[in-house]
Amino acid sequence: MRAGLILCGVAVTWMCAAFGLLASEMVFGRPGCRLRVKPAVLQVRDIASAISQYMIDQNRCPRTKDDLIDNQYVVRKTFEDPWGTTITFTCPDGPDDEVRVRSAGPDHIFGTNDDVTNW
């Protein structure tokens, strides 16, 4: 009877581990995607900072990413997230609004839970 309980406990442990692995794959995609989140966060912050500096220097928000690249606030590669998707930004509408920068994240789809943003 005791061996049966131990075997059952081992089976439950393996099931939980497998479920955790599956759940992380569903959220973060293929293995290793979690390791890409930190670089994406840094890229989003770099772009937000570059936009803020551009706004101070030029007294307006950049119209496109090329405004930032051409004026050497960032390099072109900064706008490609670790999953190969272009990072986007929107400028503030009013004086109290903030610049919003967004990476689509591991699933390559904007507006989902795995997006990396500066807000």
Summarize pLDDT for 44-92 with one digit per residue, the tens: 999 999 999 999 999 999 999 999 999 999 999 999 999 999 999 998 8
> Which of 79, 90, 77, 95 is closest to 119 using CA atoms?
90
Alpha carbon distance 37, 33 (integer Å): 7
Residue 17's pLDDT is what? 38
- 27/52 same-domain check: no
Per the structure, the complete domain to which residue 76 belongs is given by 33-117
- Identify the DSSP state of 80: B
Two structure tokens written together for 1: 């009877």
Give the Å distances, CA to CA, from 39 to 15, 19, 83, 87, 115: 32, 27, 10, 12, 13
Residue 64's pLDDT is what? 95
- 66/8 same-domain check: no
pTM: 0.70
Give the CATH number for residue 88: 3.30.700.10
For 116, the enclosing helix (H) or strand (E) is strand 116-117
Residue 2's pLDDT is what? 53
